[in-house]
């Protein structure tokens, strides 16, 4: 196989260090891992197996298709997989996947799972104020969950990335009020940002996602997290653009002086969005190269004036997710999950 002209370098050391840091911050609560959306774009199997080796035991995916793809890699160990989107009728054919359980979120799903029999374990999502997925606390009080083999009672914070938002305390109080109301072995509320809200939000199990991958949802986590993934791309050409000439589609960038320009093998088809036009940056060693002109489907131009970089050399694109999000106006979540499939994921 010919080496691709671009790839995604992933650091197992940074990934596991982030999980261990979040586990420490979770205190007495266990620390799980959201690996939905193919491990936030890095590869769910590659992520989950490394985190399982580090001690993680609870993994979260969105769908049963994701669970079926991941389960063989975790089979035989202590790891468990929870399916956040519950159990549709079509999902019952996969209900016996070892180590996999649904996170039920509607009364119909609860009845469906109960009727499927065999006392299979499940989780249940309770809506405490996000108004997305979840049964109502009143339904729990009325006995909706009676008779279930309930592993974890779960809810999800809507505004944890805004520590001062009053909905955080409201959701925590609503969730805490359910303590002892069910046969659940555990309760879980905090996502990545929720971990930083403090011990009263941790309950028995935390469920970080973005922070595992080097995203920083709140400033309080900025000093403890490391970037995990770095896009690297090969330079296809170095050229001299004379003063007054333009670069790229629609001629949006004009050279203020004679400018050394390199063209790298990367574009929006690889998840390097057009939003980085005139705003992104890459590195050759320690030298920063700003993106100039429009990012196109497969190529991006960078100002290499004064930098020793030429055809065949490789550039590292900025791995700092908060900085990239600020530069592009795109969320850290989208930057990760939008990484293109043409980028080979290389773990070291």
Q: What is the pLDDT of residues 70-102, one digit of tens each?
A: 999 999 999 999 999 999 999 999 999 999 999
Residue ranges for the chain with pLDDT beneath 50: 1
Catalytic residue among 36, 40, 268, 333: 36
Position 118 scores a pLDDT of 65
Q: What does the domain layout of the chain look like in residue ranges?
A: 12-215, 229-318
**Phi, psi of 84, deg, nearest 5:** -65, -25
Catalytic residue among 60, 201, 249, 333: 249
Token pair belonging to 192: 């990545």
Catalytic residue list contains 333: no
Cα–Cα distance, 19 to 199 (Å, whole number): 17
Catalytic residue list contains 272: no
Say which CATH class 12-215 falls into. Answer: alpha beta
- List of E strands, the chain: 6-10, 30-31, 33-34, 58-61, 80-83, 100-104, 121-125, 149-154, 186-188, 205-206, 229-241, 246-247, 253-254, 259-264, 281-284, 287-292, 300-303, 314-317, 344-347
User: 124-135, pLDDT tens digit by residue?
Assistant: 999 999 999 999
The torsion defined by the Cα of 107, 174, 209 and 271, in degrees rounded to 10, comes to 70
Residues whose CB falls within 8 Å of the CB of residue 168, separated by 6 or more in sequence, listed in order: 157, 159, 160, 162, 197, 201
Say which CATH class 229-318 falls into. Answer: mainly beta
Position 1 scores a pLDDT of 42
Q: Give residue for tokens 């016996």.
A: 96
Position 2 scores a pLDDT of 60
- Closest to 14 in 3D by CA, of 192, 217, 215, 196: 215
């Amino acid at each position: 196989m010919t080496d691709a002209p671009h790839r995604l370098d992933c650091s197992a050391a940074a990934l596991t260090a982030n999980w261990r840091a979040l586990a420490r911050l979770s205190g007495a609560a266990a620390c799980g891992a959201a690996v939905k959306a193919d491990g936030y774009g890095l590869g769910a199997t590659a992520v989950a197996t490394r985190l399982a080796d580090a001690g993680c035991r609870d993994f979260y995916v969105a769908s049963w298709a994701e669970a079926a793809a991941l389960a063989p890699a975790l089979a035989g160990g202590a790891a468990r997989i929870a399916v956040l989107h519950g159990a549709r009728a079509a999902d019952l054919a996969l209900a016996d996947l070892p180590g996999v359980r649904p996170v039920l979120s509607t009364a119909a799903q609860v009845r469906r799972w109960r009727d499927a029999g065999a006392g299979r374990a499940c989780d249940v999502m309770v809506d405490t104020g996000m108004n997305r997925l979840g049964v109502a606390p009143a339904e729990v009080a009325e006995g909706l969950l009676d008779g279930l083999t309930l592993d974890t009672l779960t809810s999800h914070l809507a505004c944890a990335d805004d520590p001062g938002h009053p909905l955080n305390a409201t959701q925590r109080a609503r969730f805490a009020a359910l303590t002892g109301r069910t046969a659940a072995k555990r309760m879980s509320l905090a996502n990545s940002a929720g971990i930083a809200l403090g011990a009263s939000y941790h309950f028995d199990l935390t469920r970080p996602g973005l922070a595992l991958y080097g995203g920083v949802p709140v400033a309080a986590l900025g000093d403890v997290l490391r970037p995990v993934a770095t896009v690297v791309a090969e330079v296809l050409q170095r050229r001299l653009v004379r003063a007054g000439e333009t670069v790229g589609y629609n001629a949006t960038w004009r050279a203020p002086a004679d400018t050394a320009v390199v063209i790298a093998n990367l574009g929006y088809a690889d998840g390097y969005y057009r939003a980085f036009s005139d705003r992104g940056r890459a590195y050759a060693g320690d030298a920063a190269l700003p993106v100039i002109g429009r990012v196109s489907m497969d190529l991006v131009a960078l100002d290499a004036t004064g930098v020793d970089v030429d055809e065949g050399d490789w550039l590292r694109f900025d791995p700092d997710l908060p900085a990239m999000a600020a530069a592009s106006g795109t969320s850290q979540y989208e930057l990760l999950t939008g990484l293109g499939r043409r980028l080979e994921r290389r773990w070291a």
